[in-house]
């Protein structure tokens, strides 16, 4: 056993910070499942509640594989549900609602990410669950938030929302739109979902602490639009300060890509001493005395005409990696623009266990790669990761253990369409 194995074994003996925390999640797609997967990685026991007919909508996403029973398993589901158990319950059925409320007191946390008001209409909102479980932590994630005092209702509360909708409404699409071109939707994947998931995680952990202090139920409500506005903070902040141009115009920073011999490298130069360091790296001492480049504004204004040609000529004679390393040695932030295949083979991600290998459920081709846990805690071991659950895989196990249901009672629920 090497020293790394010894350290990991000791870490496993220490346990994980959320060991013993139990979460019942009526969830779908990514805005909540990303959060509960992170919590599961930190030790929480997460039981996922899905509809018996097809499960949550993430299972139907594209691209997709098939599970051992030939059912569709979409990529959104595969990358957001490691370490969970799946229980099927029809929450619209009176017996499904009854079972959910019976399960709730067995868990520390109940959470959901349906459209605002859905759980209340099902009789499973915060008030109903808190009546059955007076110390529950109840987390809701939705596009525009649920009714919660002292905050008023959003005028958009009834709108369905995906990540792209709240991203657009945050103002970032228009803010970053190139002149003469339409706004680009979903420029970086599910930014709106993951933003909400992270704020939901923070709120949930804070509510658990508050519950332990007060002994009373706690409610957490996260609107995806609020989360994205917080993440795209420059939009209204800069506008309020009179900014009407681009970030580069006002901050006087250059953030751009330049071609190298084998692709592109991104460079960010924003401080006067960094511009001077760039002049030294490119062997252009005359720039230091050029009155056009005497301040930030001049560097930004004349970058394309004076600086870019020299920088591109320099970078094209080098690989992305060599260019980034040389820029870094000069004190300039830079990095290669990697392809997906290069990211999958990146030594940094390997060293930090940031790519989890999930065997394909259909047994065909290479395994699926899922991002790992970016939260690293000293003395806490990571993994082992367990694959996403098949639809309803743990229904009988959970209902028998938590509610004491017999095989006959489970068969009766199944015959009534309450469970899958």
Name residues whose C-beta falls within 8 Å of residue 233's C-beta, 6 or more positions apart in sequence. Answer: none
Measure the CA–CA gap between 188 and 284, rounded to whole angstroms: 36
Name residues whose C-beta falls within 8 Å of residue 262's C-beta, 6 or more positions apart in sequence. Answer: 319, 320
Would you give the distance in Å from CA 298 to the centre of its chain? 39
* 90 annotated active-site: no
What residues pair up with 66 in beta bridges, in sequence order? 72
Measure the CA–CA gap between 234 and 104, rounded to whole angstroms: 40
- Does residue 384 have a cis peptide bond before it, meaning omega lies within 30 degrees of 0? yes
DSSP class of 151: B
Q: Beta strand 109-112 with 137-142: parallel, antiparallel or unpaired? A: parallel
What is the radius of gyration, based on Cα positions, of the chain? 26
For 47, the 3-state DSSP assignment is: strand
Residue 414's Cβ-side half-sphere holds a number of Cα atoms within 13 Å equal to: 13
Measure the CA–CA gap between 304 and 339, rounded to whole angstroms: 26
Q: Beta strand 109-112 with 22-26: parallel, antiparallel or unpaired? A: parallel
Which of 90, 193, 221, 226 is flagged as catalytic?
193
Catalytic residues: 193
């Amino acid at each position: 056993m090497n020293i790394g194995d010894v350290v990991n074994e000791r870490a496993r003996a220490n346990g994980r910070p959320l060991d013993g925390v139990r979460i019942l999640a009526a969830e779908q797609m990514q805005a909540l499942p990303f959060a509960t997967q992170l919590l599961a990685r930190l030790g929480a026991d997460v039981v996922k509640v899905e509809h018996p007919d097809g499960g949550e909508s993430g299972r139907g996403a594209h691209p997709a594989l098939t599970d051992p029973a030939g059912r569709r398993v979409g990529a959104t589901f595969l990358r957001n549900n490691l370490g969970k158990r799946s229980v099927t319950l029809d929450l619209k059925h009176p017996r499904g609602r009854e079972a959910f409320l019976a399960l709730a007191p067995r868990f520390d946390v109940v959470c959901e990410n349906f459209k605002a008001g859905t759980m209340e209409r099902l009789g499973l909102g915060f008030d109903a669950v808190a009546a059955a479980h007076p110390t529950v932590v109840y987390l809701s994630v939705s596009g525009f938030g649920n009714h919660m005092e002292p905050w008023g209702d959003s005028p958009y509360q009834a709108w369905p929302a995906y990540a792209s909708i709240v991203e657009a409404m945050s103002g970032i699409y228009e803010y970053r739109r190139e002149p003469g071109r339409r706004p680009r939707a979903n420029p970086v994947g599910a930014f709106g979902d993951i933003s909400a998931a992270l704020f939901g995680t923070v709120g949930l952990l804070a509510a658990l602490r508050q519950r332990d202090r007060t002994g009373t139920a706690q409610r957490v409500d996260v609107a995806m639009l609020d989360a994205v506005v917080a993440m795209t903070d420059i939009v209204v902040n800069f506008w309020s300060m009179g900014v009407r141009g681009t970030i580069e115009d006002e901050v006087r920073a250059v953030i751009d890509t330049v071609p190298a011999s084998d692709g592109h490298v991104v460079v960010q130069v924003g401080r006067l001493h960094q511009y001077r360091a760039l002049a030294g790296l490119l062997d252009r001492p005359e720039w230091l005395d050029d009155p056009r480049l005497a301040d930030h504004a001049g560097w930004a204004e004349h970058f394309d005409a004076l600086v870019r040609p020299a920088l591109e000529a320099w970078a094209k004679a080098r690989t992305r990696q060599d260019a980034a390393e040389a820029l870094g040695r000069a004190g300039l932030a830079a990095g290669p623009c990697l392809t997906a295949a290069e990211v999958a083979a990146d030594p940094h991600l390997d060293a930090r266990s940031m790519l989890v290998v999930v065997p394909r459920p259909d047994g065909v081709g290479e395994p699926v790669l899922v991002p790992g846990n970016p939260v690293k805690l000293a003395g806490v071991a990571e993994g082992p990761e367990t694959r996403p659950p098949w639809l309803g895989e743990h229904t009988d196990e959970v209902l028998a253990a938590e509610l004491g249901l017999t095989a006959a009672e489970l068969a009766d629920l199944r015959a009534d369409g309450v469970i899958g």
